[in-house]
């Protein structure tokens, strides 16, 4: 009877103070220290055992919650550890808290996977971009070799350089071995043609220009000359006015075997064969 009254009194004290487990533990321990021979000792130890268990469970929850929220730790390790924690029986408040944390980790996992997929996609795009650049370099190199092999049959008139230049010994002019039809695979209007030669840097030379119509006629009608690339006509450096409109003196392929002079409005789309000096 005495032991029960002691326990009830201590529980009432703990309840009135609204204290946590550690403080409740201290209430019981302080009583035992003050009353070492109390008949309530065994009953108090039973209560202490319950409190100690709750303290351990609270500590375990705080530890797993802190670990789970630490983003410096591998995400999947955090999920694994939280799953292991949830597999055990815990108080409802801790189990509910664990479920909330698991939902957060689930969202974090989704975002992680999305980022991984995005990074993989970016890597794939970059690999394809680099592969395309290498393939384009290889294509242009093949074209240079093919054109160079034709010009090498000129009996010494054309000197093909390894730097992408071709020197015409007859005129002294140096040509870029590729035209824009081959290199860019697109046509250019007059302004774009001018920008192209202005920005061209081949063989260490930066003074490339649009050729005159005569420059083009001479080199294109040589036997052999640059192989046909699909370009129907080339821009020259000779623009002129025709009424109120600007034109350029072009060189056009006639009957698929002879290059002759023609004309085109500056907004039309043609090819460029760069020359220097």
- Domain-located, residue 183: yes
End position of a domain, from candidates 94, 111, 128: 111
End position of a domain, from candidates 111, 141, 171: 111
On whether both 199 and 99 belong to a single domain, the answer is no
Give the burial class of 270: count Cβ atoms within 10 A of its Cβ; 0-12 exposed, 13-18 middle, 19 or more buried: buried
On whether both 172 and 85 belong to a single domain, the answer is no
On whether both 98 and 190 belong to a single domain, the answer is no
- Domain-located, residue 164: yes
Enclosing domain of residue 57: 2-111
- Domain-located, residue 123: no
CATH classification at residue 178: 3.10.100
Say how far apart CA 175 and CA 167 lie, in whole Å.
6
pLDDT tens per residue across span 92-131: 999 999 999 999 999 999 999 999 999 999 999 999 999 9
* Domain count for the chain: 2
Among 167, 255, 142, smallest CA distance to 219 is for 167
Residue linked to tokens 């030379």:
205
- Domain-located, residue 104: yes
On whether both 178 and 107 belong to a single domain, the answer is no
pTM: 0.64
Return the percentage of the chain with pLDDT > 90, whole number.
Answer: 75
pLDDT tens per residue across span 227-237: 999 999 999 99
On whether both 90 and 190 belong to a single domain, the answer is no
The answer to whether residue 65 scores a pLDDT higher than 70 is yes
Residues 6 or more apart whose CB falls under 8 angstroms from that of 253 comprise: 228, 231, 232, 233, 259
């Amino acid at each position: 009877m005495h032991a029960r009254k002691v326990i009830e009194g201590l529980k009432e004290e703990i309840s009135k103070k609204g204290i946590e487990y550690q403080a409740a533990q201290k209430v019981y321990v302080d009583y035992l220290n003050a009353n070492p021979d109390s008949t309530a000792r065994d009953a108090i130890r039973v209560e202490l055992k319950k409190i100690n268990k709750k303290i351990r469970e609270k500590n375990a929850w705080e530890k797993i919650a802190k670990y789970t929220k630490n983003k410096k730790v591998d995400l999947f390790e955090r999920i694994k550890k939280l799953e292991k924690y949830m597999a055990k029986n815990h108080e409802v408040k801790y189990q509910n808290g664990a479920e909330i944390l698991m939902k957060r980790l689930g969202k974090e996992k989704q975002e992680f996977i999305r980022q991984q997929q995005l990074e993989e996609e970016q890597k794939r795009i970059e690999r394809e971009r680099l592969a395309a650049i290498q393939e384009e370099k290889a294509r242009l190199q093949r074209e240079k070799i093919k054109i160079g092999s034709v010009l090498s049959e000129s009996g010494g008139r054309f000197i093909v350089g390894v730097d992408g230049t071709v020197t015409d010994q007859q005129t002294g002019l140096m040509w870029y071995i590729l035209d824009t039809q081959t290199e860019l695979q697109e046509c250019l209007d007059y302004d774009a043609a001018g920008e192209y030669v202005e920005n061209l840097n081949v063989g260490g030379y930066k003074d490339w220009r649009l050729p005159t119509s005569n420059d083009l006629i001479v080199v294109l009608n040589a036997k052999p000359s640059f192989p046909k690339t699909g370009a129907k006509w080339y821009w020259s450096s000779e623009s002129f006015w025709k009424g109120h409109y600007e034109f350029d003196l072009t060189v056009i392929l006639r009957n698929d075997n002879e290059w002759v002079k023609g004309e085109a409005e500056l907004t039309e789309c043609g090819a460029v064969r760069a020359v220097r000096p």
